[in-house]
Structure 1
Amino acid sequence: MASPPAPSPGPFAKLPQPLQWLLLIIFAAALGVALETVDFPAALLIGPMLVAIAAGTGGATIRVPRPLFGLGQAVVGCLVASSIQVEVFSSFASDWPIILVSVLSTIVASSFLGWSISRLRILPGSTAVWGSAPGGATAMVLMAEAFGADARLVAFMQYLRVVMVTLAAAFVARLWVDPSAMVTPEHPWFPPLDWPAFAATVLVAAVAGRIGKLLRLPSPYFIGAALIALALHLGAGVPFQIPEWLKAASYIVVGCSIGLNFTRAVVWNALRVLPQVMLSILLLMGFCGAIAWLLSHELGIDPLTAYLATSPGGLDSVAIIATAASNVNLSLVMALQSARLVFVLLFGPALVRFVARGIKP
């Protein structure tokens, strides 16, 4: 096998840092917005991350300040928590056997794939397991870094799966639904601010890191914000508002933070294992498709609902597709997707450690 390219300073290294920042911000925002206009999955995060990867491999010497990165993580934590609605629990109460079996089987399958990737020495232990975890992609990347995995390769695996799963879900949906009837919900960039809800978001994002550090949480900003916001949102009914401009800014910060840490060696390694990673994603998608078929065949759930409910990742994109299809049981789709996300957030670290212990030569 060919060896990776010999390291060299790269064109970015020759530029002054203010110019590096200017180019990074302009191109990251431009690519993110461009991908968003064509409904590319996770566009506002993946676009800036790709630009930052290009800058990082080109020798960029700039790095996102850690307090700013922490604030971006905290906003994402609030976003994840506020996406879990109280109504999900009523669906869970009525459909808990379906949800439990589907969630556990998907997590077992993804853990087995991560274990296999590590045993075959395609990627190192916990990195492969975190990269295969079927939770929210951004959440998995942020948690993986806190637990010692290579966040760059985890991001590569997670966001590649987001793209593949979302494209497949959109294609499958079009087999059942008239494409002209599928309208993507509009999210205005500068909506009127609901000041109490917006203030709750800002307050939690501001204090989450300090509280998370006091509690010695492994990812204090993200996990701290997610836990606080979840307790306030579900326990006290506190609303949260994350306007599109704030979400975009947070995604750009997180994407650039991850991307700037890529090196040529990391990119080379990612490209080297691309076929194996894509195969593992296709296997997981096939496994989830088989679960969807069983749900449809044995329990009479309509095929599109079953498929969207069991799709391994891309909760936001799946929600948009499910909302646009009028014949889909949206409550079941969101209950199953949310239950899997909550399960991985709560038990992911322990599960990864358990699986990683079995990865010994």
Structure 2
Amino acid sequence: MSRSNALSPQASQSKPSTNKNKWWYWVALFLCSGVLVAAMEYVHAPAAFLLGPMIAAIALVVSNHPMSLPAIPFRLAQVMVGLMMASHLPISTFADISAQWPAFIFGTLMTMVASGLVGVVLTKSKLLPGTTAIWGTSPGAAGVMTIMSEHYKADMRLVAVMQYTRVAFCALAAMLTAGLLVDSEVLQNIPHQWSVISWSSFWMTLITALVCLALASRFSVPGGFLLIPMFTGFCLQSLGWLTLDLPESLLVVAFAIMGWGIGFRFSPDVLRHALRVFPYILLSIGFLLLMNALVAWILTLWIDIDFLSAFLGTSPGGADSVAIIAASIPVDTSFVMTMQVSRFLLVMIAGPLLAQWLSRSFMEKSD
């Protein structure tokens, strides 16, 4: 197996592990996930159904219990999260962006500037080989950055560790911040829709999900399994053609699969390879989170938004994991979703170009 195939995000999900996913691995995964979810729910931690399975998956794979997810369940889980994001985007979203566009641009660009600064500093320090730091610190679009990095003298293994460690730590930081700023009684009293409200709307939602899954599989759009259902659901709801019915009994399954999908991307071999520079990786993530908090504080002074909403909106983690956390706590979900999607789109367009430009600059200097 080639190095790129062995390390690509797609391969980590769809290829069978060397131990062929022994059935007791899955039993252990379900039990560990259940215990962690129950413990986090007991203390009213946000996004327990995402973070519990994610921590359980990381613990298993780094203790030499390699596991993998089939591609279809993970993709379908992304589609369901995309539809959930659409259900939280009001029709006034574009009007809100146009009214506050300087704040949206500021929040998005500051996240990218902070990430680029960390990447340049780490690259100049030569703590990481080649242009690894530039690709590893790029915010969002983790899979795309990981795959493209190999063509620019970067160590794909370290890029993968940096990208998915950032996603995991940003999710944990968002959960802890929400736990500190939101009263536990408020979290306990958040209403939950566990059952289907309208069976006709529910079946139409599932059909929409399957159509979006097929479209995203057919067209290789980066982030398509999240973006296509989100924009499709938003447009259909805005036109009055669809009412999204997503009971939490369905969403928690999608959240758990998302958590496992993130956790399975880690491995003992990759972590051992990264152990020497792991403190610097954690330090860079810590700097990004501090910048995240600073930008969020500036936004609270600039526009009418609370700190937690601003913090989640400018989080350099994955848009899908942030969306799941935002949906489980009392924040301005439309602001969070819009800010995350704006940054995700900008990263998809400008991120690879910026990383390529920086990579070429350092490659030319090294030559």
What TM-score, normalized by structure 2, do the two folds share?
0.72
Question: In structure 2, what is the equivalent of residue 103 of structure 1?
Answer: 108
Question: In structure 2, what is the equivalent of residue 17 of structure 1?
Answer: 22
Larger mean CA deviation between 145-154 and 100-109 belongs to 145-154
Question: In structure 2, what is the equivalent of residue 305 of structure 1?
Answer: 306
The 5 Å alignment of 1:166-185 reads: 166-168=175-177, 170-171=179-180, 173=181, 179=183, 182-185=186-189
Task: Give the superposition deviation at 1:98.
Answer: 3.0
Over the residues paired in the alignment, what is the CA RMSD in angstroms? 3.6
- 2:32 aligned residue (15, 27, 35): 27
Task: Give the superposition deviation at 1:233.
Answer: 3.3
Q: Partner letter of residue 272 of structure 2?
A: W
- 1:154 correspondence with 2:163: yes
Structure 2: runs of 5+ lacking an equivalent: 1-16, 150-155, 316-321
Question: In structure 2, what is the equivalent of residue 66 of structure 1?
Answer: 71
SS at match of 1:217: coil
Count matched residues.
326
- 1:204 correspondence with 2:220: no
- 1:113 correspondence with 2:112: no
- Decide whether the 8 Å contact of 2:196 with 2:246 is kept in 1: no
Whole-Å separation in 2 of the counterparts to 1:65 and 1:115: 36
The 5 Å alignment of 1:127-146 reads: 127-130=135-138, 132-133=139-140, 140-141=141-142
Q: Partner letter of residue 129 of structure 1?
A: T
- Decide whether the 8 Å contact of 1:74 with 1:209 is kept in 2: yes
Question: In structure 1, what is the equivalent of residue 337 of structure 2?
Answer: 338
- Decide whether the 8 Å contact of 1:81 with 1:227 is kept in 2: yes
C-alpha distance after superposition, 1:279-338 (max 9, x if no partner)? 3344334434444554566x5x57x72564255324554576654xxxxxx4xx843x33
| Closer/same/farther in 2, CA of residues 235 and 161 from structure 1, 3 Å limit | same
| Closer/same/farther in 2, CA of residues 270 and 306 from structure 1, 3 Å limit | same
SS at match of 2:245: coil
Q: Partner letter of residue 45 of structure 1?
A: L
Task: Give the superposition deviation at 1:218.
Answer: 3.4
Q: Partner letter of residue 25 of structure 1?
A: F
Larger mean CA deviation between 314-323 and 283-292 belongs to 314-323
Whole-Å separation in 2 of the counterparts to 1:291 and 1:279: 18
Question: In structure 2, what is the equivalent of residue 136 of structure 1?
Answer: none
Q: Partner letter of residue 203 of structure 2?
A: A
Structure 1: runs of 5+ lacking an equivalent: 1-11, 134-139, 324-329
The 5 Å alignment of 1:1-361 reads: 17-60=22-65, 62-117=67-122, 120=125, 121-122=127-128, 124-125=132-133, 127-130=135-138, 132-133=139-140, 140-141=141-142, 153-168=162-177, 170-171=179-180, 173=181, 179=183, 182-188=186-192, 190-236=194-240, 238-268=242-272, 272-295=276-299, 299=302, 305=306, 308-311=309-312, 312-313=314-315, 314-315=322-323, 317=325, 323=331, 330=332, 334-335=334-335, 337-357=336-356, 358-359=358-359, 360-361=362-363
C-alpha distance after superposition, 1:20-56 (max 9, x if no partner)? 2222222223323322332334322222122222322
Q: Partner letter of residue 117 of structure 2?
A: F
Question: In structure 1, what is the equivalent of residue 8 of structure 2?
Answer: none
